[in-house]
Amino acid sequence: MPLYQVIVLALIQAVTEFLPISSTAHLALAPWLFGWKDPGLTFDIALHAGTLLAILIYFLRDWIQIIGEGFGIHAGYDPQLRQNRRLLWLLALGSIPIGAAGLLFSKQAESTWRSPYVIGTMLIVVGILMWFAERASRGKKDLGQVQWGDGITIGVAQALAVVPGTSRSGITITAGLFRSLTREAAARFSFLLATPAIAAAAAKDLWDMRKHGGLAPEMRVPFALGIAVSAIAGIVVIAYFLKYLRRKSLMPFVYYRIGFGIIVIALAAFFRFNAE
């Protein structure tokens, strides 16, 4: 696999995984547009590992404090996390729906649901939901005020991310806004909630790779480079996005999703674009 392709796809993964615009849609479209071969399972693992590493590095202090507070140990700097000592258990509870959805629908998510019509439709539908959430949200609650109902609602929303085109961050941030979280709190909770889900997906992919003979020698450099680029770029994107949400709305992403969804459906209808 050429290294320039590794860099381009890793950058696309980092940007689209954390912004609410769907990594699946962009990673399906990019090879088709550029005329590249499908990078395959091994490279998917590298991208998952890179984005997982980005979240773990960026939120390391948060996770240390969340785990400590969950067990009654004051171990951090953030007053919001100290105020909400049940946050660890909210994240654990919120992770159950995506785990169940992955077990029940993984085959459909990797085959029939990867239709460009499904991807395009979900881009548009979630974009519209995001627009309504922006209008409806009171945006008053920070992480210190997240409650059981918030965790369950956002966790159920994350389960919808098994449908390609949904965007894990897009649907969970939208759910957080409907629950009156601030934009920044909704995004922060979304990224924390994504950590176990991405870790589970990476572990599953690694297991599948091992069953298929492990990492091929010619993929060692692309694999390592894919992890490094997606991790470094992911950290930058997370920092930028959280800063952006302190001051601005999600409306540019709403417009982008709807426009991109229309493009995906048009490509499928007129140019035989296939996301599988």
Ranking 74-78, 81-85, 121-125 by mean pLDDT, the lowest is 74-78
88: alpha, beta or left, given left = phi > 0 and alpha = psi -120 to 50?
A: alpha
Provide the 10 A C-beta neighbour count for residue 5: 18
Q: Provide the whole-model pTM.
A: 0.93
Q: Which residues pair with 141 in a beta bridge?
A: 181
- Give the model's confidence band at 276: pLDDT under 50 very low, under 70 low, under 90 confident, else very high: low
pLDDT of residue 217: 83
> In this structure, which amino acid lies at residue 59?
F
pLDDT of residue 273: 67
What token pair was written down for 182? 């601030």
Mean pLDDT of 211-235: 89
Q: Which residue has the higher pLDDT, 42 or 123?
A: 123
Q: Helix, strand, coil proportions of the chain in percent (round to 5)?
A: 80, 0, 20
Q: Which residues pair with 59 in a beta bridge?
A: none
What's the chain's Rg over C-alpha atoms?
A: 18
> Which of 125, 58, 59 shows the shortest CA–CA distance to 87?
59
pLDDT of residue 150: 97
**Residues 7-66: tens digit of each pLDDT:** 999 999 999 999 999 998 899 888 888 888 877 767 888 898 999 999 999 999 999 999
20 vs 40: CA distance, rounded Å: 24
On whether the CB atoms of residues 133 and 148 are closer than 8 A, the answer is: no
- Give the model's confidence band at 241: pLDDT under 50 very low, under 70 low, under 90 confident, else very high: very high
Mean pLDDT of 119-144: 95
Mean pLDDT, the chain, rounded, equals 92
Indicate whether 227 pLDDT > 70. yes
- Give the model's confidence band at 275: pLDDT under 50 very low, under 70 low, under 90 confident, else very high: low
Q: Which residue has the higher pLDDT, 213 or 48?
A: 48
Mean pLDDT of 69-95: 90
Mean pLDDT of 167-192: 97
**Residues 160-169: tens digit of each pLDDT:** 999 999 999 9
pLDDT of residue 270: 87
Using CA atoms, how far residue 151 sits from 63, 136, 157, in Å, is 16, 19, 10
